[in-house]
Chain A
Amino acid sequence: MTIRAHGLLPAAAQRAIDDAFTAVAHIHSCMSFHERESDVSRLNREAHESPVAVDSAAFDVLDIALRFAEESKGVFDITVAPQLVDLELLPSPAGASRPDPAATWHDVELLPERRVRFHRPLWLDLGGIAKGYAVDRAIERLIAHGATQTSVNAGGDLRVYGARTEHVLLAPDTYGDGVPVIEIENGSIASSEPRAHTGSHRAGSFVSVIAEDCVVADALTKVVFARGRAAAPLLVRHGAAAHLYNSRTGWQHFGAHLSGPHAPALLAS
């Protein structure tokens, strides 16, 4: 992860960056599917038996995730962990009962006082959204410390803040016609890894989603990867744009217009 901060004296910049890293580490430890004592692991072991109280960050992320599940009619789904375990993309969570095959995100219930209950045994994986959420929290800390131009890049989920336009080079497996660059101010970009998302028929595609909040961009990459252009109404609703590439169709752009009236630009050779 890379954090850049401008507009601060070196000691203050160091403090701001340390604070931002701390925020990210905290979110990672709450939401890790792998660590035994993370909130996610405790939920996966216990929440089908009785409500489990979780950290406010974990509760916030669950709330966001369930709303995206609703809006995308389940295309964005944090309960796909069992399929990912079967595909050997995730290790089996230690000490957790086998999930009920009929369980879905509808079985996750948020209760008062940050408690969570599962109506059936299920496995949650917040990996599709936690990184974007962490980037948003890190940026908040940096701004609170007074950085005037700052960016957080967590392995392809990034957010920039400040008046200056940042240039972000996208990295699909092959470039095809040209090298894609996003010129962006005060927004986030999340890009999909070509991970074998369940139900996706778009192997070999590369997706970047631009939105103001990184958690939104992060969640929407999954929907765009699965649904392609059909995700456009959801993108527009969130003020987000998607850029999708595969070697067969080249670049496709859909969603909200984020640069004024112009369509994406192809520079003349």
Chain B
Amino acid sequence: MRARFVLYPLSALTLIQPLHAEVYLSVEQARNLMFPGATFAQAFITLSDAQASAIERDSGVSVRDRTVHVWRASTGGWFIADEVVGKHEFIPFALALDATGAVKSVEILEYREAYGGDVRNSAWRAQFVGKAHGAALELNNDIKNISGATLSSKHIADGVKRLLATYAVAIAAH
């Protein structure tokens, strides 16, 4: 065991971000926010090798987790809880798709990094609304980057692209 007590002077606090996780929304809260009034039927999918390869080829993004945590909304559309890597920690987020598989909204559930939390900014997230499978989602070209949050914004954009491909490959067929 090793332990060290460190006191950060209050005057330095504007430079130092909180070291604990910010939990913004639970999965349940995000679901109800993104699909008000709906009930949800769990429809988790375990991707086969073929499906994972197809998603990776299609989106150019690797599939880290073969389990897709997806729920069908009673009011139409799909809710997916996923996570991407930030700089040091995972960023859990949620994606709402309408009945045609286009993005309704993106919500960040938790943010554990010391900086880069601007991906939570609603104007930034609004850039994804309406994007469907096949849409260009390149950072800086199609999705504006956020200074100081480059890695997080790239990975969220990649995550959305991967999930749109996942929808086309594994969900739309159901």
Contact = CB atoms under 8 A, between A and B. Distances in A.
A102 interface: no
Nearest to B83: A10
A86 interface: no
Given A10-B65, A169-B18, A169-B20, A264 B1 contact: no
B3 A210 contact: yes
B9 interface: yes
Contacts of A185: 1-3
Interface in A173-216: 175, 177-187, 189, 210-212
Interface stretch (A28-36, A226-234, A251-259): A251-259
Contact of B7 (A167, A259, A266): A266
Contact of B12 (A169, A175, A267): A267
A185 B1 CA distance: 5
B85 to A, nearest CB: 13
B156 to A, nearest CB: 20
A264 B6 contact: yes
A258 B6 CA distance: 13
Interface residues of A, number: 35
Contacts of A260: 2
A212 B9 contact: no
Size category of the B interface is 10 to 19
A259 B3 contact: yes
Contacts of B18: 169
Contact of A179 (B3, B13, B65): B13
Nearest to B8: A179
Nearest to A268: B9
Contact of B4 (A10, A177, A262): A262
Interface of B: 1-13, 18-20, 65, 67
10 contacts: A169-B20, A181-B8, A186-B1, A187-B2, A210-B3, A241-B5, A251-B7, A258-B1, A264-B7, A267-B6
Interface of A: 10-11, 165, 167, 169, 175, 177-187, 189, 210-212, 239, 241, 243, 251, 253, 258-260, 262, 264-267, 269
Given A182-B4, A189-B3, 18 more contacts: A10-B65, A167-B19, A169-B19, A178-B8, A181-B8, A186-B1, A210-B1, A241-B3, A241-B5, A253-B5, A258-B1, A258-B4, A259-B2, A259-B4, A266-B6, A267-B9, A269-B9, A269-B12
